[in-house]
Chains A and B, each alone.
Chain A
């Protein structure tokens, strides 16, 4: 269906990534946000707090990130589309509730504007070092989706996409910005509401007698209900059966935990989102994401000028990792070069998918600024040799 025009600020704007993210949430139908101030992410909810009273919704500033990350889930079960926004230390506090959202299949969006870590780290400076945490940070086995915009325009577009994917798969979706993308100001085009596709929540049409809240359909994803409609359903973070009742046995655990990952299988291949370029003849492929992909773009140009057949693979959906596509490339390229603002996180995934069939060169950076394109260029030159 199309976006509700009340939330859509149609026009051509000059926005930073944080503000564009807020507009994306409003366009996607989010009418509820809970947050706790933390640099460099707060601008997202500051704008939401300013915009939402004239759109028709609620923003609440909670007492901490633990609260914010579960308040949004209460709102979702009350019938809202909802999100929260944070950065490193707050993201760490939210881990328990990312697990709760995964376990209870609560569709919601977590925006993380990444800064340098560990701990308080570099509050005002960029990093991309929460990528593994986004995937694995909560205990137990589960699956999530993570998207990595590299411009304010994409902050808008991918926030809409994040809400849509959350509804389609009933998972928490991580929107992984970095400080540079969050604070970079560029042109952002917001289309007319009827040009923005919004995925509605899949509410059940079954009767209260027939409905079983965690019984999956063909897509492995169960239909939802919201509180107050007479279904008298139960939601728990305990291992539960199709009725939603706690069920402490091996069979239920096996069935449920496997489904939480299997429902995301479409992303391992066809549904993965990536931007590619010059892959046809590539001998070296640069795999990057977020702000680093824009630095890598310069290195790729310089490499081509030198006659090196370098290609681009930009991760837009970082999780689930697009392993089929990297595996396919690994069969025909010499090497992957993976620059990222961490000491090598997504590079490990590239290595895993390449499985020894192509070399993987990490171009690590501890964060605080972006790479020098020359450093990436040198890695490309070295890898092509």
Chain B
């Protein structure tokens, strides 16, 4: 990003705004949010709110019974999503959203359990849980907002931070290789793997709708700006500049080998749906094994306690 880009994308605010909000109208996503908790904590230009909007639209479009959708988050800026969604929602400990969600799903299989968290939470402190849940093909829908940094704590290096980026804990530039999350998810066994940016709102919403209807461990990575702590520190402009970058640098390549989808500081962003495969999920495998070995002695789990 350079200054010319900034000039191109500068917002022009019309002197006379003709977009009056008609009386009685409301934002269609409001009923799905805890409006009594607004305003939210996210910064201007942050992409997390955009992803929540997409998620709510996906919920609407999927016609899911919202009483049966639970959302589980870890810690961090994206970890706050659970608190704003008007669903049964759990804000857990740092990195442990996936194992919490695993227990929730196994105890109450009719729930659709969505894990909504950030890259640091899911892939540093929580990395072990991610690969094991993918290996088991646990029926969880994992949405990762990847802003390439630890934003809540002030912009430190994450396992996703690209080479050369300046962060609070890498003041001379990141030199550790970063994870390629979509490749990691595929290798660990995810049934569905996609990546979008917060520029691709339609595609993202459609992907979210797809995973709400798909069984097994599904993963969507969303590349999202953190203007306050990532873009600013690296002189990459503001939220709007980042949108411009996403628009220019993204290439839709459905089915691309995930090994070719690594990210860099300012290079191409390969987006699309990379993996969509059918594997028996954990519950199916468990049942098949027990029926085979125990026959009639096997009792279907009734984990929910009447007592």
Contacts and interface: CB of A to CB of B under 8 A. Distances in A.
B141 to A, nearest CB: 15
Interface string B226-257: 00000000000000000000000000000000
Contacts of B87: 232
A231 B307 CA distance: 20
Contact of B99 (A71, A226, A245, A246): A71
B299 A80 contact: no
A34 B301 CA distance: 15
Contact of A75 (B68, B82, B104, B302): B104
Contacts, number: 178
Interface in B55-111: 66-68, 70, 72, 82-83, 86-93, 95-96, 99-108, 110-111
A200 B307 contact: yes
B21 interface: no
Given A67-B129, A228-B110, A53 B303 contact: no
B130 to A, nearest CB: 10
B213 interface: no
A61 B132 CA distance: 11
A100 interface: yes
B32 to A, nearest CB: 10
B300 interface: yes
Contacts of A201: 305, 307
B298 A80 contact: no
A81 B299 CA distance: 17
A74 B107 contact: yes
A6 B303 CA distance: 13
B7 interface: no
Contacts of A58: 106-107, 286, 301, 303
B67 A31 contact: no
Contact of A228 (B88, B99, B103): B88
Given A54-B298, A226-B108, A237 B67 contact: no
A275 B228 CA distance: 61
Interface string A213-253: 00000000000001111111111111000000110000000
A239 to B, nearest CB: 12
A32 interface: yes
Interface in B153-205: none
A66 interface: yes
Interface string A30-61: 01101000000000000000000111111010
B91 A78 contact: no
A63 B129 contact: yes
Contacts of B111: 78, 227-228
Interface string A171-185: 000000000000000
A235 B90 contact: yes
A200 B304 CA distance: 12
A273 interface: no
B290 interface: yes
Interface string B19-37: 0000000000000001011
A66 B103 contact: no
5 contacts: A54-B299, A56-B299, A199-B307, A201-B305, A245-B37
Given A31-B303, A57-B302, A80-B107, 11 more contacts: A32-B303, A60-B102, A60-B106, A70-B96, A73-B103, A77-B107, A78-B304, A227-B70, A228-B68, A232-B86, A237-B93
Closest 7 CB pairs of A and B: A74-B103, A78-B107, A79-B304, A78-B108, A56-B299, A75-B103, A236-B91
